[in-house]
Each structure stands twice: as structure tokens, then as C-alpha cells.
Amino acid sequence: MRLFLALSVVAVIAGTGCSKDNSSGPEQNPSDMDYVAMGWSDFEAQRFDSAVNNFTQAYSSQTSTPLVRGEALNGRGWSYAYKRDLVKSSGDFVFAIGLKEISPAALNDVRAGAAFVLYSLNDFSSSITYSNSVLTEVPSYTFAHDAKVTAKRLRLLLVQSYYANGQFSSAASQMDVIDPARAPHSSDPSILLASITAALNSL
């Protein structure tokens, strides 16, 4: 935005010597990448409605590339998630996962977002799949646009998904990774639930 303002000022100054017309000419519309940048700026400032609008503009732009569309769906999916519109969020995430041309970083963000949202929608098997994908590819994962979304939170989500799916041994194994000092963790549901609750409270 500062660059755009600077260019506009230069255009006005350059035109004063040859014309009495005080207009700076037609406004330049933001590019698809500008809309993506504005979307993430809004997201980080918790202006989620505005973020959704900017990511939608980026996705719908006639000059948008597959990479930009992937990033736009990524941002819009997270924005919808933080607005608690989980159905629209999951729709964007699942569609983005199916794109052939999406950056690896965006794909991991999309999978992480999908894991959280689908858990909330009681799709525990898909949450397990996407959590595992991210943690396998990036064991130290942190979401660049919200530092609270870390590998530890994602692994705890994986534990909760296993537990909710009745896979108590797998949940206990993941607790061993989260809290190796207390390994091996019991797979007894009541004892395991207490361990999960304690780990969540430590965040």
C-alpha cells in the first residue's frame, strides 16, 4: 500500500509540468497478490470479514494463478475457521487440498487448518490424516500467521482425534512424544483422558 501511494504521488508530480489536469489518471486496481497480502494483514489483525473479502478477490481475479488461488483458499479457510463458520472453512480447505498446483507451505497450512476444523465437525479420521501429514513433513510446524498454532497443539489435536475415534493405543503413543518424561502413557481411557487434559492445560 505504501508503494502504491508513493507511485501515485510520483505520477501527480510528473504530470504537473505538462498539464493543468490535476487528476493522477485512472486508479490502479490491486493485483491478486496485493489482495492476498491484504487478506493476511486483515487476518493477523483479526478483521476476519475483511480478510474473507480480500482472499475472495484474490481467488476470483482474472489474472489469478493456481498458486495464488491455493494461497487464497488457504487464507479464506483459516478466516472462516476463526469466524466459526466451520462448514465454509472445511469446504475451502478440502478443495485446496485437491489442487495440483499449490505451494508446499500453503498445503501444510491448509492441512493443519483442515485438521482442526474437521475435528470440530466430528470427522476424526480426516483430522488424524491431515494432522499426521503435517507433522510428518514439518515436525516443528508453526502457522506463520498465528504463532499459537504449533506442532505441539497439532499433535495434541492428533491425540484427541485418536481418543475420540477410540484408538487409545495410538493416542497414548502420541502422548509419549508430547510428554516423554511420563512415557509410556497408559492406554486406559480414563487415565489417558487425565493425561490429555493435563497436557492441554499446560499450553
Instruction: List, in sequence order, the alpha helices (H) in the chain.
Output: 2-15, 32-44, 48-60, 66-82, 86-97, 104-120, 124-137, 151-164, 168-178, 189-201
Query: How wide is the angle at C-alpha 44 spanned by C-alphas 42 and 45, nearest 5°?
Result: 60
Residue 36: other Cβ atoms inside 10 A: 25
Contact 34, 63 (CB under 8 A): no
What CA–CA distance (Å, rounded) separates 74 from 107? 8
What CA–CA distance (Å, rounded) separates 145 from 104? 16
- For residue range 154-188, what is the model confidence (pLDDT) as tens digits? 999 999 999 999 999 999 999 999 999 999 999 99
Cell of 130: 491431515
- For residue range 44-56, what is the model confidence (pLDDT) as tens digits? 999 999 999 999 9
Report the SS3 class of residue 142.
Answer: strand
- For residue range 69-127, what is the model confidence (pLDDT) as tens digits? 999 999 999 999 999 999 999 999 999 999 988 999 999 999 999 999 999 999 999 99
- For residue range 57-68, what is the model confidence (pLDDT) as tens digits? 999 988 889 999
DSSP at 150: B
* 162, HSE (Cβ side, Cα atoms, 13 Å): 22
Cell of 41: 494483514
pTM higher than 0.95, yes or no?
no
The torsion region of residue 85 among left (phi > 0), alpha (psi -120 to 50) and beta comes to: beta
Cell of 28: 490502479
